[in-house]
Structure 1
């Protein structure tokens, strides 16, 4: 440390001086001396941004409204059981119609909490998701969107119950609410965070068209969040009104397999692009296991009426349990080892975890492991429901609980998945793309290229070379040791003297004449290299 403190690269102020000069030039030339505006364009804001007062006010307002609406729901449920016409209220129908939208909104709120945790802990989610660092939704705005939609959800739900109580047609309420949600997402007017909404639509479209384009981290992450566990499927009984026939069961099975198919197709696409069987084909096998769970469970449900008196005799019950166990162990192992990077041999003091940790307490990690194991095996509750007729009557409630459990498990999963990606780039999603080396123009400085090739013989040509051909470096006149030259006084003269040295013009013209011959030319862009057959090499010629 003592040597580093006095080292030139540590004590030098040239970088700061260059930054200051660039800022001054940008301010004077492009912003007419307005330094505040120049800094907004030049400097990237930190991960933890300041809270907007209006956003904080609206967020607090919506949270306060939720604190009033939630007790109102329980009060209505406790007091209102029949309508004025002495008919039972449509509480069960309301739950069936509203549970999907509720889970989506809760997932938005959990995403806002995820962003808050990443920002506080220094996980660079902006870089990982490759979003605009200057124009994106902060966690306050995401929470604002989620809580505002949840307020509308509560109002629509209460409107459904009141419409059922007064005897009017209540089913128009969920239709209006879903219509408002769709209008909110696709609204082209530049309000309500239009850029973020359209970004979400584009990413969602990439998930639906997974096999046809390269997969980025955002595509994979969003694909994982478009589905809830196929293991957590509440069983239907013989007296259930939904999925009573084979046609309905088949359609439901297709819908349940679609989310797994999206991720399966993404894994196959990544294998096609990278040619790496591991981890992409192995990951595809994880999602393929979900297909067998859905198929065996659908067969079990379709044959349930044949084994009413002896449910243990249903062979598809055992196939479903076997497929669910294999799939759960497969997914759990992938969660802990691959997605989170736990159980690393180099963990050291972080037993059962990994070498580097971001979050402050190890208790968070161990609690997350236990939570993930328990929630992954929550589908076992279905076995008890299968043999208990009274519990099977509450399939809609149980299905809603399963959905919430899976969303909460995914909410915890997000923290450690992004942390592992931040530390180790475990998914190999590169933030920096390959840059083309094609020339920007035809005005090539051959002198500079010749000098760099002579000075740095380790440069490789990226073109594929035939086995019978060899790249030969032309014999260029030595320029002597540049370091022995006198240091010029002027910076311009220094640049010319050090980086654009004087060449033997006649020798260079001779080299260029040789390079003009098409049969000996490797590339029209680099005239310093020629391509010759090995049999034509003169004695003593150095091969690169």
Structure 2
């Protein structure tokens, strides 16, 4: 692999603007090469003439190709700027392209040097914070375990995660934190586990004494600080890789220059780099050693192998088993689809008298799994594209290193769901009742409910199977979405809540499950759900839950961040809630008044949502952007893709107006089929939205050089804000 591609593949994408512009420097070298080829004949002539009359001063001048000087600007806190003086050769008259090359090279080096110094300063300050936190944790260990030791009367009965003896701990605390009065002003910053504790935290501050800490508090503080050390170790790794790649880039580009010009300029320039802060600084390596030593000592009981393994990020390995199972299940799904189509046509089930009964009772049950499958499939496609275009989606979503699902795993889960669903559909294709009992087979009628139970059991399974970390991450995010104003809102919560707004029909299908199996006569394949006023009210409430969750999320961010855009965003979702309620009432009541109200409210919210999708969430339609009417930075080089996505988003936003304006009366489509089709188109629109939404978030991180998140620390000073 050429170094240019290696650099592009290994660089931290959020720092890409801070790396040496290797591609541009190579372009300058090509210009130098072309310039020398044009001047090849005059150069040969001058070389021949030089043999007869060139003095010794010219020879010395040719040996000194460049001279790198450090120019210290006035009142500057950065390193002095570097300026390379290029000595013109009498053989070629001194090409301007060479001078331009070294001018750009100096600018690139100064850029890299400043960025590296800034990041080293940041990690040094973070090291001081972690050191203070570690001191406080040791003091807390003593505070928690000393009373237990006194009660037990035996030091050996106290089991601490720290291998040091109690005397050693005390010595460290005295040396590092000073007197015990320092600990009295330290408070613990641990987020509550349950909803009840969170409510207490929001309503009033805890009245627990500063000195009243339990073993559970200690363990949670240890876990939070352990994660902070792991994240910090990763931060050091990124900075170390940044330095190494840039050093290699400067070395490669100078050697290419020597090869093209047949001069020896690389030695002088690389010596300057080696003597600079970039080449000589050893702070990052020293911090690496200190972090490993501290982590091994305090978090892995002195087991260095275990400690280093916990510190280093886990790289996901592609398993052939996943690919094999994906192929098998995909083949089974295709075969089952063909089998269902053949069964429907061979037995003429569409024209069967029980067709209407099937569509009103069984079809809504299985459509739930179709919505889930399509959403999983679109997310798998998004994951593939994000990885293809090097969008750091695990960092953006906040996954723990190595726990995120790749597109193969997502497609595997989706194909497994499709196989289970299609097998279940085959079991319910028989429209004929038992002539003796006038009842359907109870077992086959319970298959959809059984399939829902299987999905719920797998989702909440506590055992470490079927991607437990991803399942629990989904459950946690869903919980935070439901109780949005209580928990702090992060991007993963926002993103998930937006996904749920596109699954309104899935929530209504779940409601139908409860009504059909709870109050309906599923043995006779009949229900009276729509005749219940309670069902109608719940039909509205269930649909607006995800939108209301987004309203609360926006309001919390409005109060926390003082961002007026969040207030407008909450109004957008509130308008959607109003439109959804009116449209649902129109479905039940009909009438010209409700039709006009539904059409007008739906039209307003459609325009509002479409504008927000394209301009705010995607960051497009910027008049003065480098890419007209798009934005400055684009992942996809073909700009037509973005304009197509804009048009498709607008059209799919308008699709739901079909149900309001009754344009869906197609004789070949059942109304429930039309509703399911519109729901699928909304999921498709959401899948397209997902890619460009994360692309915009990715470039926001790139603009601010955010390549990692600082894990919250467990302790803070009484007179300070949370760390």
The alignment's TM-score, normalised by the length of structure 2, stands at: 0.52
Match of residue 105 from structure 2: 2
Verify the 8 A CA contact 1:44 1:134 in the aligned structure 2: yes
Match of residue 366 from structure 1: 643
Whole-angstrom CA distance in 2 between matches of 1:43 and 1:406: 41
Match of 2:582 among 275, 296, 302: 296
Shift of 1:351: 1.9
Match of residue 503 from structure 1: none
Verify the 8 A CA contact 2:329 2:419 in the aligned structure 1: yes
Whole-angstrom CA distance in 2 between matches of 1:241 and 1:389: 25
Verify the 8 A CA contact 2:373 2:417 in the aligned structure 1: yes
Shift of 1:137: 2.2
Match of residue 396 from structure 1: 672
1:25-174 matches, within 5 Å, as 41-44=310-313, 49-81=316-348, 91-92=358-359, 93-162=361-430, 167-169=440-442, 170-174=444-448
Match of 2:467 among 193, 201, 221: 193
Quick check: 1:419 aligned with 2:695?
Answer: yes
Shift of 1:268: 1.1
Verify the 8 A CA contact 2:368 2:506 in the aligned structure 1: no
Match of residue 135 from structure 2: none
> Does the residue aligned with 2:501 lie in a helix, a strand or coil?
coil
Q: What root-mean-square deviation, in Å, do the aligned CA atoms of Structure 1 and Structure 2 show?
A: 3.9
Higher relative contact order structure (alpha carbons within 8 Å, sequence separation ≥ 6): 2
Whole-angstrom CA distance in 1 between matches of 2:640 and 2:697: 20
Verify the 8 A CA contact 1:233 1:382 in the aligned structure 2: no
Match of residue 534 from structure 1: none
Shift of 1:189: 2.2
Q: Which deviates further from its counterpart, 200-209 or 91-100? A: 91-100
Whole-angstrom CA distance in 2 between matches of 1:188 and 1:163: 39
Match of residue 450 from structure 1: none
Whole-angstrom CA distance in 2 between matches of 1:146 and 1:389: 31
Quick check: 1:351 aligned with 2:454?
Answer: no
Whole-angstrom CA distance in 1 between matches of 2:486 and 2:282: 48
Match of residue 213 from structure 1: 487
Verify the 8 A CA contact 1:250 1:298 in the aligned structure 2: no
Match of residue 287 from structure 1: 573
Verify the 8 A CA contact 1:231 1:379 in the aligned structure 2: no
Shift of 1:363: 2.6
Match of residue 244 from structure 2: none
Whole-angstrom CA distance in 1 between matches of 2:673 and 2:600: 26
The alignment's TM-score, normalised by the length of structure 1, stands at: 0.68
Whole-angstrom CA distance in 2 between matches of 1:317 and 1:223: 29
Shift of 1:386: 6.2
Match of residue 469 from structure 1: none
Match of residue 250 from structure 1: 537
> Does the residue aligned with 1:210 lie in a helix, a strand or coil?
coil
Verify the 8 A CA contact 1:123 1:419 in the aligned structure 2: yes
Match of residue 331 from structure 1: 609
Whole-angstrom CA distance in 2 between matches of 1:272 and 1:28: 41
Shift of 1:89: 8.6
1:199-278 matches, within 5 Å, as 199-228=473-502, 243-244=530-531, 246-276=533-563, 278=564
Q: Show structure 1 runs of 5+ residues with no match.
A: 235-239, 308-313, 441-460, 464-544
Count of matched residue positions in the alignment of Structure 1 and Structure 2: 423
Shift of 1:39: 7.5
> Does the residue aligned with 1:188 lie in a helix, a strand or coil?
coil
Shift of 1:34: 9.8
Cα distance per residue 1:59-86 (max 9 Å; x no partner): 1111111121111121122123459x98
Whole-angstrom CA distance in 2 between matches of 1:215 and 1:28: 33
Match of 1:379 among 636, 656, 661: 656
Whole-angstrom CA distance in 2 between matches of 1:76 and 1:387: 27
Shift of 1:263: 0.7
> Does the residue aligned with 1:131 lie in a helix, a strand or coil?
coil
Whole-angstrom CA distance in 1 between matches of 2:594 and 2:507: 15
Q: Show structure 2 runs of 5+ residues with no match.
A: 1-103, 110-249, 251-268, 435-439, 509-526
Whole-angstrom CA distance in 2 between matches of 1:89 and 1:268: 45
